[in-house]
Chains A and B, each alone.
Chain A
Amino acid sequence: MSPRFELDARVSIPLTGVTVLFGASGSGKTTLLRLLAGLEKPDSGSIVFRGKPWQGLSPQQRRTGFLFQDYALFPHLTVAENVAYAGPRATAAGLMEAFGLAELADRRPRAISGGQQQRTALARALAAGPELLLLDGPLSALDAPSRMRMRYELRRLLLAGGVPSIVVTHDRMEAVALGDWMAVMVEGRVRQSGPVRVVFRRPADLQVAESVGVENVLPAEVAGREAGLLTLHVGALRSQCVDSGETGSVYACIHAEDVAITREAGISSARNRLAGQVRSVTVEGALARIELDCGFPLVARVTAQSAGELALREGEQVAAVVKATAVHLAAYSQPSPR
């Protein structure tokens, strides 16, 4: 029935706190989540949960409290009946109280807000006493303002529930706000996993870097190493960065926030600074995104205020400065074996 989908996920996930399964849509993260829940059957492979093999177990035996994107609350039951659907009444009542749902007890799901529906779904899952919680895009059904509010709220509720959880998202802000640990999926494969901060600062390869949204991923050559620092050639840029053992061709990953812009004239390329021409200036709220042409495209993000003070206009010559500690190297990704 379902179309064939190749998924190669070798990953072990720590069963504490919140793990984010991160990737673009179509990268296979929802499929992986459904495999964990037992809603899909893999052609081969194994899932081991706390030393217990899970293959061959039904969704009922796994008890993963799967949270769907649209929460999948039972429309014919009230909020209270939903929460108590698969758990003892006392537990359900306690959770309703803790989640601020007590006064909504007799409402139907369609008569409460998106955020309230989410809390109801989470309470329903926790009342059933799951061993693991799986959440598929838990915030994507909310409108933008509630989504921002609910990020931290959701993390608080997940930690308070005391059940390890795996959250699927394609939103960087959500990943940072929700997760302790993350696994990045690209084209059906888990390409990198580790603490959220580490994955964002040090993407393992080009596709991971693009996937987690590092604006500048530049082909570079390692030209030399000295005293724990590497010398890099990125086009005309001579840059230094921390030596973590790379050689030859690499990608230099630089977050746009880590590129500063100055108008000090007369300076050509020096160490960690290079001349460029302003190609575009886009104000995004309090920040401005500036695209430079330095022989290669380079994206910088500065405050709108400093962009105004610098009076940046298209076609003007400026200098971009990148701190050595802000440059991270990602290996050339090998074509994955089929």
Chain B
Amino acid sequence: MDWQAIWLSVRLAASTTAILLVLGLPVAYWLTYSERRWKFLVEALVALPLVLPPTVLGFYVLMAMGPRSPIGALYGKLTGGMILPFSFQGLLLASVLYSLPFTVQPVAAAFAGVDKKLIEASWCLGVSRLATFRRVIVPLALPGIATGAILSFAHTLGEFGVVLMVGGNIAGVTRTVSISIYDQVQSLDYTAAGQTALFLLLVSFAVLAITYGLQRRVWGVWRIR
């Protein structure tokens, strides 16, 4: 088994999930409570990675972060000449975009499920919007937030197309588990491919089983009605 690739995938998935939690919660909050007319456009944009072929997403991300693009140039200036394509950081950026709906959608659904009156009651008690978010909305939406985090983690763990486009296949830097399996099959090493594939299958199943189990119990404890 390609432990190096597994470890890289786990690191990538964990970092992606952490960034998505910081980024996805405000986005989900805005999508849930904003009354802007053009909200549907942002919703569609966030959901785009669900339907877009990973190669298409990967292509645009690759173009957007090339050294001559504004983003790539700024990154080079900030880091003293580093480039995003074919680096772990570039892969991370692409993964965040790719898994964004997997965080935002369950979290937004959980936010929408929080009784609006609880939020208004908190405001009328003099508690700020931010503190209300932290003390009422997040605790009550915790199962949804956990689901979003776990789904993003599992989704990033198995990504292939985007990685191939943006990261290429550099051992220890951008060769993730799924790329490794592809390599092993290409070199007719079916035993290794089978082992890695089985490992990924078991991890994915375990992660999902834990999510659903956790949700049941959490809902059981917090059921309101």
A-side interface residues toward B, CB under 8 Å?
A: 1, 37-39, 58-60, 62-66, 68, 70, 72, 74-76, 85-86, 110, 124-125, 128, 134
- Across the interface, A37 reaches (CB within 8 A) one of B35, B122, B124, namely B124
Q: Is B26 an interface residue (CB 8 A)?
A: no
- Which residues in chain B, 126-142, are within 8 Å of chain A measured between CB atoms? 126-129, 135-136, 139-140
> Given A72-B117, A75-B140, A76-B140 in contact, is the A59-B222 Cβ separation under 8 Å?
no
Cα separation A56 to B122 with both chains bound (whole Å): 19
Residues of A within 8 A of B124 (CB): 37-39, 59-60, 62-66, 134
> Given A74-B136, A85-B125 in contact, is the A39-B120 Cβ separation under 8 Å?
yes
Q: In the bound complex, do residue A75 and residue B224 qualify as a contact, i.e. CB atoms below 8 Å apart?
A: yes
Q: In the bound complex, do residue B140 and residue A68 qualify as a contact, i.e. CB atoms below 8 Å apart?
A: no
Residues of B within 8 A of A60 (CB): 123-124, 126-129
Q: Is B115 an interface residue (CB 8 A)?
A: yes
Q: In the bound complex, do residue A72 and residue B125 qualify as a contact, i.e. CB atoms below 8 Å apart?
A: no
Cα separation A134 to B117 with both chains bound (whole Å): 14
Query: Per-residue 0/1 for B89-111: is the Cβ within 8 Å of any A Cβ (1 yes, 0 no)?
Result: 00000000000000000000000
Tell me the number of A-to-B contacts counted with CB atoms below 8 Å: 62
Q: Is B23 an interface residue (CB 8 A)?
A: no
Sampled A-B contacts (30; CB under 8 Å): A1-B35, A37-B120, A37-B124, A38-B124, A39-B124, A59-B120, A59-B124, A60-B127, A62-B124, A63-B125, A65-B124, A66-B120, A66-B121, A68-B117, A68-B120, A68-B121, A70-B117, A72-B120, A74-B118, A74-B122, A74-B136, A75-B140, A75-B222, A75-B224, A76-B139, A76-B140, A85-B122, A86-B125, A86-B126, A110-B224
With A60-B128, A72-B118, A86-B127 given, can you name 15 additional A-B contacts, CB distance below 8 Å? A1-B35, A37-B120, A39-B124, A59-B123, A59-B124, A60-B124, A60-B129, A63-B124, A64-B124, A68-B117, A68-B120, A74-B118, A86-B126, A110-B224, A124-B125
Q: How far is the CB of B215 from chain A (nearest CB, A)?
A: 15
Pick the 9 closest A-B CB pairs, nearest first.
Answer: A86-B125, A66-B124, A59-B123, A72-B121, A72-B117, A128-B125, A75-B224, A63-B126, A76-B139
Q: A68 — nearest CB in chain B belongs to which residue?
A: B117
- Counting chain A CB atoms within 10 Å of each CB, the highest count among B117, B125, B127 belongs to B125
Q: A1 — nearest CB in chain B belongs to which residue?
A: B35
- Counting chain B CB atoms within 10 Å of each CB, the highest count among A76, A125, A128 belongs to A76
Residues of B within 8 A of A74 (CB): 118, 122, 136
Q: In the bound complex, do residue B120 and residue A125 qualify as a contact, i.e. CB atoms below 8 Å apart?
A: no
Cα separation A74 to B114 with both chains bound (whole Å): 10
Cα separation A172 to B200 with both chains bound (whole Å): 67
Q: In the bound complex, do residue A58 and residue B123 qualify as a contact, i.e. CB atoms below 8 Å apart?
A: yes
Residues of A within 8 A of B136 (CB): 74
Residues of B within 8 A of A39 (CB): 120, 123-124
- Across the interface, B115 reaches (CB within 8 A) one of A1, A65, A72, A110, namely A72
Cα separation A67 to B124 with both chains bound (whole Å): 9
Residues of A within 8 A of B128 (CB): 60
Residues of B within 8 A of A66 (CB): 120-121, 124
Q: How far is the CB of A61 from chain B (nearest CB, A)?
A: 8
Q: A37 — nearest CB in chain B belongs to which residue?
A: B124
Residues of B within 8 A of A110 (CB): 223-225
Residues of B within 8 A of A64 (CB): 124
Q: B127 — nearest CB in chain A belongs to which residue?
A: A86
